[in-house]
DNA sequence: CAGTGGTCTAGACCACACG
DNA sequence: GTGTGGTCTAGACCACTGA
């Protein structure tokens, strides 16, 4: 037995995944652990790295499946557009699930980011974006109710606040997106059907209208591999 | 004992960290596990989430320490600048370690990204950026040797390829940065003194000159919390 | 050297999916 | 019910730090 179980495991697992057709199930964790001569904990640790890369997908109760390559959407960040619009440009089917629209009171953080008083009424819109049946992004928008009252929502609202505002002709100007990487918290992990701590690309952004007022504050979480964001940077100050 | 050890643990740990002064050491893992009534494995899992947030720092052989809040550098992505330049703008001290400069043959990936033949000679420059003694970023640049021969490096090269090229007056134009989130691989984790799988913000970018030639291909890895990158997005296509 | 965090094991129980 | 992945435990050994 090697002195570096983890490295050897990664190699063995990579080979196994490689020779397994997309959609097929891998052996169960106890079986695999026995086959590969490691404990289940170590096996799971190695499997997590492959799940992060999007090569496998684990589902409690049913098994671990090999995932086929998916088309990634590559988009520049210079122009703000909804994921729906972006997908349409690429001819990719996406769907929305877990849509939740609530009228709530602004907490500390929300109030600060929207320039509102603590406890001011805001509309909270949350949704999960899926392609190919898999969750790939979790989006949470928060707006002052005077920008978008609950009553202004169309019956068939599919979730994109941006598209709604644009369709209404609101005088929007820019969005400022802060970019970071985080581990999934318990609630986001559940919505995205991934594990707590899994790697996510995270945007936190504010949407401004022409007068400089913040009309929307949003948190976006992306599972790596499905969306490629890029930005073209000018050289020199 | 609660049915949700992990959630309770997070609360208890947060409280412990909160009442411990920055720089102080926490009790050892076996001790803490006993105090909090969980196994060491579970404790470590919870601790990982706090380390990801930059609240604690674990060092093999010496212990786990509470980290004070650090100043984050907030920078827009519209203009390409070196981390050194960025830090100078903010008056923050940074240092470089693990500087490595090598002349190597282009592998498949490098060749594609630099538009070179497989095996063409390239210069590989890697370095770790530190502030406050802590590694915060790992940067790897690769350039064709005809852009930057080893012999052109100044004696006191501190690591920024971009600043070197700009200082020489090279006709650079734009950089295209692809943004993603990844878990640290073993080698990057070692350089950044973090754990394998820890969350990192990752840029992979190509630097173009005025004629559209790729003069540099770079991989950047950032520990979240030390740098804030943002981008201003225009509304409407 | 003793003590720390890093890794791994073997086994247990749970929540969930699916027939 | 049966089998899956998700969580947790108790204990072992290793690699590293620092007195």
pLDDT greater than 80 at residue B2: no
B3: confidence class by pLDDT, cuts 50, 70, 90? low
pLDDT of residue B1: 42
pLDDT at B13 over 70: yes
Nearest nt to the CA of A63 via C1' is D4
Task: Write down the pLDDT at residue A3.
Answer: 53
Kindly tell me if the per-residue pLDDT of B71 is higher than 80: no
Read off the pLDDT of each residue in B187-214 and give the average, rounded to a whole number.
90
Q: Which residues of A touch B80 (CB under 8 A)?
A: 233-236
Q: What is the CA radius of gyration of chain B?
A: 21
Minimal Cα distance from A205: which residue of B? B230
pLDDT at position A4, please?
A: 67
Asked if A211 has any chain B CB less than 8 Å from its own CB, the reply is no
Residues of chain A with pLDDT under 50: 1-2
Here the tokens at position A232 are 């073209």
The model carries a pTM of 0.91
**Closest protein residue to D16 (Cα–C1'):** B61
Q: Say yes or no to pLDDT of B51 above 80.
A: yes
- Our measurement of CA B166 to C1' D13, in angstroms, reads 52
Helix (H, G, I), strand (E, B) or coil at B221: strand
From chain A, pick out residues whose CB is under 8 angstroms from the CB of B222: 181
- Is the Cβ pair A222, B80 closer than 8 Å? no
Query: Using alpha carbons only, what angle is made at residue A165 by residues A163 and A166, rounded to the nearest 5 degrees?
Result: 60
Measured between CB atoms, does A201 come within 8 Å of chain B? Answer: yes
Strand C interface, protein residues by Cβ within 7 Å: A 4-6, 37-42, 45, 59-62; B 3, 26, 28-31, 40-41, 44, 58-64, 195-196
Q: Is the CB of A190 under 7 A from strand D?
A: no
Q: What is the mean pLDDT of residues B103-110?
A: 96
> Could you say which of B79, B234, B236 has the minimum Cβ distance to residue A234?
B79
Whether residue A51 contacts residue A62, with contact meaning beta carbons closer than 8 Å, is answered with: no
Residue B122: burial class (beta carbons within 10 Å; 0-12, 13-18, 19+): buried
pLDDT tens, residue by residue, B130-141: 987 788 999 999
CB A206 within 8 A of CB A214: yes
Specify the pLDDT at position A2: 45
Span B128-176, pLDDT tens digits = 999 877 889 999 999 999 999 998 999 888 889 999 999 999 999 999 9
Listed range (A101-110, A216-225, B33-42, B179-188) with the worst mean pLDDT: B179-188
């Amino acid at each position: 037995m090697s002195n570096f179980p983890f490295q050897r495991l990664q190699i063995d697992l990579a080979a196994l995944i490689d020779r397994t057709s997309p959609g097929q199930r891998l052996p169960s964790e106890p079986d695999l652990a026995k086959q590969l001569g490691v404990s289940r904990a170590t096996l799971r640790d190695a499997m997590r790295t492959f799940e992060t890369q999007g090569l496998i997908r684990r589902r409690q109760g049913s098994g671990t499946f090999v995932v086929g390559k998916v088309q990634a959407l590559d988009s520049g960040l210079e122009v703000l557009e909804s994921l729906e619009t972006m997908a349409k440009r690429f001819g990719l089917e996406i769907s929305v699930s877990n849509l939740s629209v609530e009228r709530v009171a602004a907490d500390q953080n929300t109030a600060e980011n929207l320039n509102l008083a603590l406890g001011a009424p805001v509309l909270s819109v949350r949704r999960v974006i899926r392609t190919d049946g898999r969750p790939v992004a979790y989006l949470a928008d928060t707006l002052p109710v005077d920008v978008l009252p609950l009553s202004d929502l169309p019956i068939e609202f599919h979730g994109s606040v941006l598209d709604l505002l644009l369709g209404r002709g609101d005088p929007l100007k820019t969005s400022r997106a802060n970019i970071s990487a985080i581990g999934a918290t318990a609630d986001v992990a559940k919505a995205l059907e991934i594990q707590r701590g899994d790697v996510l690309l995270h945007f936190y952004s504010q949407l401004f209208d022409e007068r400089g007022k913040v009309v929307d504050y949003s948190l976006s979480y992306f599972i790596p591999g499905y969306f490629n964001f890029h930005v073209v940077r000018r050289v020199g100050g």
